[in-house]
Amino acid sequence: MNSRDLLVVGSGISGLSAAIKAKELGSNVVVATKSILTKNNSVMAQGGINIALGNVESDSVEAHIADTLNSAKGLADENMVQKLCSNGIQSAEFLEQIAVPFSRLNGAKTPLKSIAQRKLGGASAKRACYAQDYTGLKILHSLLDTAIAKEIPLLQNMQLLELLKNSSGEICGGLFLNISSGELEPIYAKRTLIATGGFGALYSKHTNSANTTGDGIAAILRAGGVLSDLEFVQFHPTTLKGRNILISESARGEGGLLLNSDNERFIDELGTRDKVAMAIFQQLQSGKSVYLDMRHIGKEKLQHFSIFWTEFYGIV
């Protein structure tokens, strides 16, 4: 039985980052993913990732922690929040190392200080590092280039069915359906990392990749694993009516206004997503429509949203 050191299930930003780090530490790694390598929720992330670099205006890790805890309404694990925010600069350095093509500021003294930042919902400063409006896709492309250069096997069209256990009851890999061949294929490993994301695509209205159906979560449950916080499902506030097309939060971050059918603003556009989503829902429940008004932001800024204006060409 040929066994790897590490099996990573999922080819998004988390899975590929873990696979690359493990490979750098000397592990024999394989990555398996349900569809093609770029069909996942990482690609759907457009607006940016929050890291307290302070490149555009004053910011700090402490402010990032405070904003996160405030947004969580006291329900977050404070130790985990502190770890996440404190490791932000280290993450930015890694992304620079693998040549993520972030949007850039002129005149910066170091590459890290040249990363452009914008303000997104719930933040007290311009904190989101972005690559135009393709942030997730650009990060994923750089991770894939790095994984390929490090000769990490990347197996596509492999759907996880169940986790395998050895005679001692320890997880020793996974059983996969090879969607291309229709065959069942086991992959054995000393350690297995599930990085398959959530289950947002199970809802009728969502902005997730169609593959986000909770396969990894279900496999963990069937294997007797412990899960937590499954009730915390976040719904992105802005999509096009009648379709599951995401309108990036960065559209509001750059000045887009939410108006009801009476041409009234009804919410701080950069409030936390739960507040903005609830405010939109309340407007719809009252019989009104909701619009995103970007007419005033100008052609130059609008061109920064290439996904936006190609998706909605003829509408905006």
Q: Where are the chain's structural domains? A: 3-42+141-222, 47-133, 250-311
Do 100 and 138 contact (CB within 8 A), yes or no? yes
Does 150 score more than 90 pLDDT? Answer: yes
Beta bridge partners of 173: 164, 188
Q: Is 273 a catalytic residue?
A: yes
Q: Of the given ranges (164-173, 196-205, 240-249), which has the lowest mean pLDDT?
A: 240-249
- What tokens does 187 get? 């992959």
- What 3-state class would DSSP assign to 49? strand
Give the ranges where 155-260 is alpha helix by DSSP (H).
215-222, 250-253
pLDDT value for 48: 93
**Closest to 7 in 3D by CA, of 218, 196, 193, 225:** 193
- What 3-state class would DSSP assign to 187? strand
Q: Which amino acid is at 142?
A: S
Q: For the residues 264-289, what does the mean pLDDT come to?
A: 94
Averaged pLDDT score across all residues of the chain: 92
Does 19 score more than 80 pLDDT? Answer: yes
Does 179 score more than 80 pLDDT? Answer: yes
Do 43 and 137 contact (CB within 8 A), yes or no? yes
DSSP 201: G
Among candidate residues 4, 127, 222, 273, the one labeled active-site is: 273
Does 254 score more than 90 pLDDT? Answer: no
pTM given for the model: 0.88
The domain defined by 250-311 folds into Flavocytochrome C3; Chain A, domain 1 (3.90.700)
Do 266 and 258 contact (CB within 8 A), yes or no? yes
Residue 295 — very low, low, confident or very high, per pLDDT cuts 50/70/90? confident
64-89 as b/e: b if 16+ CB within 10 A: bbebbbebbeeebeeeebbebbeebe
**Answer CATH for 3-42+141-222 from 3.40.640.10, 3.60.20.10, 3.30.56.10, 3.50.50.60:** 3.50.50.60
- What 3-state class would DSSP assign to 90? helix
pLDDT value for 305: 66
